[in-house]
Amino acid sequence: MKAFWVLISASLLFWGSPVAAEFCSVKSEGKDISCIFKTERTPKDTQVVISYTQQGWSMMVAVFLKEFAMVEGDSRVEIKKGPTHTMKYVTTRRDMTTDRRMMEAPVYLVSEELLHDLGSAKGKTRFFLSAEKPKEVEVEIAASLFEDIDAYVEETKSVLGDLFQQQ
Domain ranges of the chain: 35-166
The model's pLDDT over 19-46, given as tens digits with 9 standing for 90+, comes to: 445 888 877 666 678 899 998 766 667 8
Q: Which CATH number fits domain 35-166: 1.10.10, 2.60.40, 3.50.4, 2.40.160?
A: 2.60.40
The model's pLDDT over 92-139, given as tens digits with 9 standing for 90+, comes to: 999 998 888 899 999 999 999 999 999 999 988 999 999 988 889 999
Is beta strand 32-38 parallel, antiparallel or unpaired with respect to 75-79?
unpaired
Half-sphere exposure in the Cβ direction for 92 (13 Å, CA): 22
The phi, psi pair for 66, rounded to 5°, reads -75, -30
CB 65 within 8 A of CB 97: no
Distance between CA atoms of residues 127 and 74, nearest Å: 11
